[in-house]
Amino acid sequence: MLIAIWAGLATGAIYALVAVTNNITLSQLGVFNFAQTQFLVAGAYLAYQGIEVWGLPWYGVAIGSGVCLASAGWAQERFTIRPLGGLVAGHSATLVTTVGVATVVQGALVLKWGTTPLTVPFFGGDGSFDFLGGRLQPVDVFLFGLTACLCACLYAASSRTRWGLSGRAVTTDEDAARLRGVNVEWLSSSSFMLAGFLGGVLGPFIAAKTGVAVELSGSLLIYGFVALAIGGFGSYIGAAVGGLAVGLIQSLVTRYFELDWFPITLFGILLLVLIVRPTGVFGARATRSL
Amino acid sequence: MTPRIVKSWIQGIHLATVCFGIILVALLPQLGLSLYGQTQMLLVAIYVLVTSGINLSFGYAGEMNLGQVAVFAGGAYITAILHVHGVNDLAIAMPASMVAAAFLGFLTGIPGVRLTGFALAMTSFFLVLLIGPLTNIFDSETGGAVGLPGLLNWKFAAINIDTQTFYVVAIAVTVAWFAAFRNLIRSRLGLSLQVLQCSSHLARSLGLSVFRLKVTAYVLGGLPAGIAGSLYAVTTGYIGPAAFPFSLAIAFLAASVIGGSKSIYGPLLGSAILVLGPLQVASFAKYSLLIYGLFLAVIATLFSGGLIAFFTRIADRISLTRYLRLTPETEGRSSPTDEVIDIPGEELIVTGVHKAFGGLVALSGVNLSAAPGQVTAIMGANGAGKTTLLNVISGLVSPDRGEVTIGGRRITGQRAHVVAQAGVGRTFQSPLIPSGLSVAEVVATGRLRHRAVSLLEIIFRAPSFHRARRQDNSHARVALKFAGMSDLATRRADSLPLGPRRLLEVVRSLASEPNVLLLDEPASGLDDAGLAELAQMVRRARNSGATIVLVEHNVAFLLSIADTVHVMHLGSVIASGSPEEIRENDDVVAIYLGRRQVPNPAARAAVTPSERARRRGESDA
């Protein structure tokens, strides 16, 4: 039981990271970027290329792919979000273009690396150790730390900095924010770039935990989304807690029933949350307007 | 030659071309199309079916639903499972798949009732992930990960069919659905969906039940996916969970977006490009994801209407087409040309209405009435509760206490669309005009609350459908004539400047023949010419018998047009009377100009005795 709980939390950390990075554009701009999860998967592939193929140190690879994917985020915003004119006005078009960019990234990954799953060893070793009744690997410890750290930093940035408050203004009323001097273009660019950058930096860690496979993106995207829904769209803490919760549900359902029941259970929970409490457990902002 | 004859000729040629095209496609195997080519054509048909469903829910109702693949898979599995159990007659399997698809469409619609935007897109996307696990859990029926092979030897209505006959059946079924789809879009349902996409408040205020409309859109959108699944199982002879990956959801969405999501014929174009394009060739297949993605991103960014909109613009340049388009559908048919319209106004009575939002009391015991053939104006500063009062009357907000009746019928606490059906029409502070509709169509949406036409009547173009359409069109035309806006009838409504757009909202309400008409700040942002037009329209509507309740900040305009004025302050009516009386009322002057003054007897006279009695009674209580 304890083993299952710790294993679930460790997997949940991955979902938490997906949810937290997805939350950046969502809380800053009100845009759900379907491509963000692909950026995380792309980060894992870049980690494979850098560490396994080229033999570079992991931190160099992390920063290098961070810069690469930040540029990808910039380009996505510049060419497929901004021309739609107004973040709110182009809402359903935004959905379509982010799905499009996600598909482009996935297509590119398949072209370059094929569909055979790849592995990247963790720089901290792969031995496991006992911890409070569970068995963890070094990578799990790093993932917990990264989740907590990212969540705390982004939470502080969103509630304490001018950048975060501007985001709040923009999601409330873009035109009013513009008139009050918020540089919406910069805010939009920087949010996409930050999210992309984190996708690259997290690559070596995610690759070590989940392996590198393009098939992962679908389930990561969906479980990350469920994490956001449980925690409340727009809340970083909610995203992290929601991610851990999804991991826990996965581990427990798999332990006591079968793996196949997990997505079905999770779908039920998602519907329940969205219908009973659409703002999630920590949700500050409503998902629908009256 | 009259325009009417030319038009009917053009329509005849049109119809003949379409029929010829369909027969040609159906006869392709006889004309030597290879087996591979036939399979490709069947795939196009399958894509057309699924994509038209996506257009219904995404393009027209505005909700991105990525769960279509799950419905498609459901249809395929039902047909396959029936075959395994010895039922290999498509005349049974296909309807069964449709029933399953309608049910799955309904299931995907349930989250859609509460959710919108990305949350709905993701929740429906989740369904695709469930296909694998569900087939594993029920592997005794579905064959689990292996799937169901050997789906051969089919019958249709007890007759054995070979590949060529199946091809004809499939094309016929696709054409039949496509005709139904076209008829559904070109009807009140299509208009209703576009109204819903614009605003759910607008939909309610026009008498549409948002719940029913959304569920209808999802169920109808699911049906063709079920048919497509059934055809798919027969076409490939094998199905398994691997046949329904995420990328298929993307491919369907791409077909919809490329052709044009908000179009009837877009699915044909998008499906043909996706299936017959070079992506299916093995050497290109590895690029397919990349190119689907590019298509989605580029077309959604640059050509918002899809390729069909692009081609339509070109076709519009051809004179005959333009001629056809500029001739309103019913021009020349018998129609009332009399400009006077008859609006069956009824008395509106609001009694003791209270409403608090948390600690903020928006309305504290409002009493007022509005009579037919009169303009009853409500004035007051921002925050006085005017719009809340209109929202209470129109059912968007339910009051804590109090009663609203029209013509003696109690409408308090009814949901907004029920109130609208009962005869309350309204306009909004910022005009809500659905995009992509012509002015005449927008006015016709005012008629949506009248006499529903069933889906079957729409699909089969029953006489009742034509009757309702003729009525709607003639009412829309009369209302436009009444407002002096006939010349704008074919213009795109969302391209109009603010003034005409505001007037258009009023005309839309008038076309619904409302028993009570609520105008929420119709004059704001209008220039003098616009004000004059609005004033004239409101006066003529009043003279036609309408009960008009007008909320307005433009005091001069309001006093010039009102028969009775109620002044609201902090949630209650503080003065009522004729415009002259209100102009002289010291309370009102004090509120508007900030003068402190002891109310004098003249001011009290402006308040009707009954009003004063009610207010006194309340302050006692």
**Do residues B483 and B536 lie in contact, with contact meaning Cβ atoms separated by under 8 Å?**
no
pLDDT average, residue stretch B315-340: 48
**Nearest CB to A100; choose among B128, B293, B304:** B293
**Nearest CB to B62; choose among A80, A92, A262:** A92
Q: Which is nearest to B425 in space by CA: B465, B393, B468?
A: B393
Interface of A with B in 106-135 (CB under 8 A): 106-108, 110-111
Percent of chain A predicted with pLDDT > 90: 52
CB burial of B23-49 (b: ≥16 within 10 Å; e: otherwise) equals eebbebbeeebeeeebbbbbbbbbbbb
What predicted TM-score, i.e. pTM, was given to this entire model? 0.86
A198 confidence band (pLDDT: 50, 70, 90): very high
Separation of first and last alpha carbons in chain A: 44
**Nearest CB to B250; choose among A103, A110, A261:** A103
**C-alpha–C-alpha distance, residues B396 and B416, integer Å:** 5
- Bridge partner residues of B348 (DSSP): B370, B406
Q: What is the pLDDT of residues B519-573, one digit of tens each?
A: 998 888 888 888 888 898 899 888 888 899 999 888 888 889 999 999 988 888 8
**C-alpha–C-alpha distance, residues B309 and B437, integer Å:** 14
State residue A145's pLDDT score. 93
Nearest residue on chain B to A93, alpha-carbon basis:
B300
Largest CA distance in chain B: 98
**Nearest CB to B290; choose among A107, A226, A264:** A107
Strand ranges in B28-181 using DSSP code E only, listed in sequence order: 154-156, 159-161
Mean pLDDT comparison of B69-83, B341-355, B499-513, B574-588, highest-scoring range: B69-83
**C-alpha–C-alpha distance, residues B178 and B50, integer Å:** 11
The reply to whether B290 touches chain A by the CB within 8 Å rule is yes
Residue B414, SS3 per DSSP: coil
pLDDT average, residue stretch B136-163: 86
State residue B343's pLDDT score. 83
Nearest residue on chain A to B251, alpha-carbon basis:
A103
Q: Which residues of B touch A264 (CB under 8 A)?
A: 130, 133-134, 137
CB burial of A236-258 (b: ≥16 within 10 Å; e: otherwise) equals bbbbbbbbbbbbbbbbbbbeeee
Query: Is B297 in contact with A101 (Cβ distance < 8 A)?
Result: yes
Q: For residues B168, B171, B176 and B181, what is the CA-based torsion angle, rounded to 10 degrees?
A: 180
- Is the pLDDT at A286 greater than 50, yes or no? no
Query: Is B250 in contact with A99 (Cβ distance < 8 A)?
Result: yes
B336 confidence band (pLDDT: 50, 70, 90): very low
**C-alpha–C-alpha distance, residues A263 and B212, integer Å:** 29
**Do residues B579 and B565 lie in contact, with contact meaning Cβ atoms separated by under 8 Å?**
yes
**Nearest CB to B289; choose among A80, A91, A106:** A106
B333 confidence band (pLDDT: 50, 70, 90): very low
**Nearest CB to B297; choose among A104, A218, A219:** A104
Q: Which residues of B touch A263 (CB under 8 A)?
A: 126, 129-130, 133
Query: Is B129 in contact with A79 (Cβ distance < 8 A)?
Result: no
Q: Which residues of B touch A258 (CB under 8 A)?
A: 137
Q: What is the pLDDT of residues B94-113, one digit of tens each?
A: 999 999 999 988 887 777 77
Long-range contacts of A150-158 (CB under 8 A, 24+ apart): A150/A17, A150/A20, A150/A21, A150/A198, A151/A16, A151/A20, A151/A236, A151/A237, A151/A239, A151/A240, A154/A20, A154/A23, A154/A24, A154/A236, A155/A236, A155/A237, A158/A27, A158/A28, A158/A236
Q: What is the pLDDT of residues B471-494, one digit of tens each?
A: 888 888 888 888 888 888 888 888
**Do residues A41 and A171 lie in contact, with contact meaning Cβ atoms separated by under 8 Å?**
no
Q: What's B56's DSSP letter?
A: I
- Is the pLDDT at B316 greater than 80, yes or no? no
Interface of A with B in 59-88 (CB under 8 A): 79-80, 83-84
**C-alpha–C-alpha distance, residues A171 and B272, integer Å:** 39
State residue B164's pLDDT score. 86
Q: What is the pLDDT of residues A136-149, one digit of tens each?
A: 888 888 899 999 99
* A85 CA: distance to closest CA in chain B (Å): 10
State residue B500's pLDDT score. 85
B239 to each of A115, B45, B128, B136, B151, how far by Cα in Å? 22, 18, 15, 14, 8
Percent of chain B predicted with pLDDT > 70: 90
Q: Which two tokens stand for residue B336?
A: 């009332």
- Bridge partner residues of B401 (DSSP): B354
Mutate which: B279, B296, B298, vs A, most A CBs within 10 A: B296
CB burial of A138-164 (b: ≥16 within 10 Å; e: otherwise) equals bbbebbbebbeebbeebbebbeeeebb
**Do residues A46 and A65 lie in contact, with contact meaning Cβ atoms separated by under 8 Å?**
yes
Return the minimum-mean-pLDDT range out of A240-254, B174-188, B194-208, B602-616: B602-616
Q: State how far Cα A22 lies from the chain centre.
A: 4
Q: Which residues of B touch A99 (CB under 8 A)?
A: 250, 253, 296
Nearest residue on chain B to A270, alpha-carbon basis:
B123
**Nearest CB to B297; choose among A97, A258, A260:** A97
Interface of B with A in 456-485 (CB under 8 A): none
The reply to whether B357 touches chain A by the CB within 8 Å rule is no
* A191 CA: distance to closest CA in chain B (Å): 18
